[in-house]
Structure 1
Amino acid sequence: MKNTLLLFVYTLVTQIITAQNINLQISDSETKESIEFATVLLPEYKKSFVSNEKGIFMVDPNKYKLPLKVIVEQFGFEKKEITLQNNTTAYTIFLDPAIEVLQEIIIPPANAKIVERTYGRTNEGSGKIQGQMNRFDNENKDSGAEFGLIIKTSNHLKKLKKVHWHINGITFKRAIFNLQFYEVENNKPTKRIPHSEINFSINENQKGWLVLNTENKDIYLDGTKKIAAILKVQKIEFSKGKNEGYIIMNVGAATSNIMTLRSNIYEGWESGPMNFPFYITVDSYE
């Protein structure tokens, strides 16, 4: 009887704690549709997170003290700041579309010669040096970690056709990534280049070259000689019975096409003379 009572009390307390979690629903103010993988910032704690594919993110007030300032942002929308209070457990946050960051309409020159070119690291590597990218666990799987390559290109207008990424293996069940392109200064990403979203997933069976066909997205890269191709972690799902995982790739020393990364949006980009097998195929207008 005593054990049963203790179990009942424990279950009741657990339910109360769970019920205190604050639910954020992030949606488009015009369409009222959910905004998938929006960035949720907690500036007082210098933490960043990513909502799920339904635009939902749960805040644990036992971990982050209320009242709590929250900033929500997504590329293509105006950021919004709210303060979570003790007496509210659910918020619907509407983001307004930002006209000034919409993708430009680019018309390639009619008389230009079109040459297919590749930029980045096209070889898989020797296999002797393998790198494990960020260790993903329950603490950082929603942090929106980013990594990628700073790629030397050319000064011609380029239309993105394909993206190639070689993976030796992953030790989690599934992950969703977003590919973003940035302008570069001092070997670090700066301003994001406006383009349509490129979301894709990989799973535990992923090995070898992953090829993303982007030709129908009409993504153009201008004459910038260096661009940053950044992979942002949107979601990690661990295998049953596990709570951590890695991406395994061949890495190597490099003087060009160098690696860059940051663990969350509040950290500065770190760039170094290493790279991994990743390249883009483009139509170059010359």
Structure 2
Amino acid sequence: MKNTLLLFVCTLVTQIITAQNINLQISDSETKESIEFATVLLPDYKKSFVSNEKGIFMIDTNKYKLPLKVIVEQFGFDQKEITLQNNTSAYNIFLDPATEVLQEIIIPPANAKIKERTYGRTSEGSGKIAGFFRSYNSENKDSGLEFGMILNTNNKLKKVKKIHWHIGSVGFIKAVYSLQFYEVENGKPTKRIPHTDIHFTIKNTDLGWNIVNVEDLNIYIDGSKKVAAILKTLKVDLNKKADDNYLGVNVGFAAGNVLTARDSQFEEWMKIPMNYPFYITVDSYE
């Protein structure tokens, strides 16, 4: 009798815990394939998150009360808004592809002279001033922190070949980041420039210069003199043995190629008169 009662209590507790969470499965409406690292917005709480690489995101309904408005978006798809109800434990969300944001096909001028140029901060610095973009934990690791630099370039057509990022110190095990280029107005990122996704992983052993070769992705930037190179946190594997799961870089004060960041899509971009070792190598058509 005691064993039966204990089993009943355990089952009841398990059901209660399960009911506290709602799982979202985000997929492509045409291919039915999962959409990795989609953005999940909770406008009533002004919170933004990122789904995992399988398009799954779990919402804690103890923290975010039902009924709950949820907006799901991913670059290249139409945004979708739903309302989560009390009697729903799981949702399959299908996003429709958006044709208006397809990457433009650019043919470089045949008679142009190609010069390799670099834009950003190429020196790694002395290491005397360290900056930390995030102390990741279980509460904020899925929030999709965005940070990057406003790069001063030229007014020529440019093909991006390589991304260079110097890492000073790492507290987590590994993290996945995306890189997206933005147009710039009034010193802040505005409209995203359509191009193939750039995803890469930083491990706690990847200290020093990390180079990502993107030449085969055919990413072109038009004659804009300023462009924002924005890194977004997609996934973090926390080091449970570490006191702090941080990402550290060498920073310095700067008037050009300055740092910009935001914690959430509901926040304005912050412009900070500092920079860190990060630059792009391009072919400039002049």
TM-score by length of 2: 0.95
Deviations 1:57-109 (A, max 9, x none): 01111111111110000000000000101111111100011111111000000
Give the match for residue 94 of structure 2. Answer: 94
Q: Is the Cα contact below 8 Å between 1:138 and 1:244 reproduced in 2?
A: no
Give the match for residue 182 of structure 1. Answer: 182
Q: Secondary structure at the match of 1:206?
A: coil
Distance 2:185 2:94 in 1: 33
Give the match for residue 107 of structure 1. Answer: 107
Q: Secondary structure at the match of 1:239?
A: coil
Give the match for residue 73 of structure 2. Answer: 73
C-alpha deviation, 1:252, in angstroms = 0.2
How large is the RMSD of aligned CA atoms in angstroms? 1.9
Give the match for residue 221 of structure 2. Answer: 221
Q: Is the Cα contact below 8 Å between 1:137 and 1:243 reproduced in 2?
A: no
Distance 1:221 1:172 in 2: 33
Distance 1:6 1:249 in 2: 53
Q: Secondary structure at the match of 1:246?
A: strand
C-alpha deviation, 1:244, in angstroms = 4.6
Q: Is the Cα contact below 8 Å between 1:52 and 1:235 reproduced in 2?
A: yes
Give the match for residue 16 of structure 1. Answer: 16
Deviations 1:112-145 (A, max 9, x none): 0000000000000011111111221111110110
| Unmatched runs of 5 consecutive residues or more in structure 1 | none
Deviations 1:183-208 (A, max 9, x none): 11111101111100000111111100
Give the match for residue 63 of structure 1. Answer: 63
Give the match for residue 140 of structure 1. Answer: 140
Q: Is the Cα contact below 8 Å between 1:182 and 1:189 reproduced in 2?
A: yes
C-alpha deviation, 1:20, in angstroms = 3.4
Percent identity of equivalent pairs: 70
Give the match for residue 234 of structure 2. Answer: 234
Q: Secondary structure at the match of 1:183?
A: strand
1:278 aligns with 2:247: no
Distance 2:181 2:105 in 1: 17
Distance 2:274 2:283 in 1: 27
Q: Secondary structure at the match of 1:216?
A: helix
Give the match for residue 173 of structure 2. Answer: 173
Give the match for residue 197 of structure 1. Answer: 197
Give the match for residue 265 of structure 2. Answer: 265
Runs of 4+ in structure 1 off by over 3 angstroms are 4-12, 240-244
C-alpha distance 252-11 of structure 1, shift in aligned 2 (>3 A): farther
C-alpha deviation, 1:241, in angstroms = 3.7
TM-score by length of 1: 0.95
Amino acid aligned to 1:178: S
Q: Secondary structure at the match of 2:134?
A: coil
Aligned length: 286
Give the match for residue 27 of structure 1. Answer: 27
Amino acid aligned to 2:237: E
C-alpha distance 8-129 of structure 1, shift in aligned 2 (>3 A): farther
C-alpha deviation, 1:6, in angstroms = 7.8
C-alpha deviation, 1:243, in angstroms = 7.7
Q: Is the Cα contact below 8 Å between 1:35 and 1:53 reproduced in 2?
A: yes
Amino acid aligned to 1:280: I
C-alpha distance 243-55 of structure 1, shift in aligned 2 (>3 A): farther
